[in-house]
Amino acid sequence: MAIRPDALPTDPPALTEMVLALDAENEKLRVAVQTLKEMIFGKRSERLAVVVAAQLALEPGDLEADAALPAPANDEEAVAKPSDKLRK
């Protein structure tokens, strides 16, 4: 998302809030890039530790709320009965 100069607010508190939000996003991206670098270029034993640390760092807001849920099991359907015919 490119920020155009004519779209910036002239209110100093709004600008401060925007800078802080962009700084927080920048820090998250730096951590993600560092994690990926360690996964790609790190020693094999370090790669697993990075993945585990990244998984532990997940927050509930990081997950998409509209992720598809698995289809419910149909336990109500009758199970097909084996035929009574003898096999030859």
Answer whether residue 71 is part of any domain: no
pTM as predicted: 0.45
Answer whether residue 50 is part of any domain: yes
Q: Is the CB of residue 42 less than 8 Å from the CB of residue 54?
A: no
Domain that holds residue 31: 12-59
Answer whether residue 52 is part of any domain: yes
Answer whether residue 39 is part of any domain: yes
User: What pLDDT does 87 receive?
Assistant: 73
Answer whether residue 24 is part of any domain: yes
Answer whether residue 77 is part of any domain: no
Q: Is the CB of residue 29 less than 8 Å from the CB of residue 35?
A: no
Answer whether residue 73 is part of any domain: no
User: What pLDDT does 23 receive?
Assistant: 96
Residue-level pLDDT, tens digit, the chain, 88 residues: 678 888 888 899 999 999 999 999 999 999 999 988 877 777 765 556 666 677 767 666 665 555 566 666 666 655 566 666 777 6
Q: What is the DSSP letter of 65?
A: T
Total structural domains within the chain: 1
User: What pLDDT does 59 receive?
Assistant: 66
Show the tokens assigned to 78: 């009758």
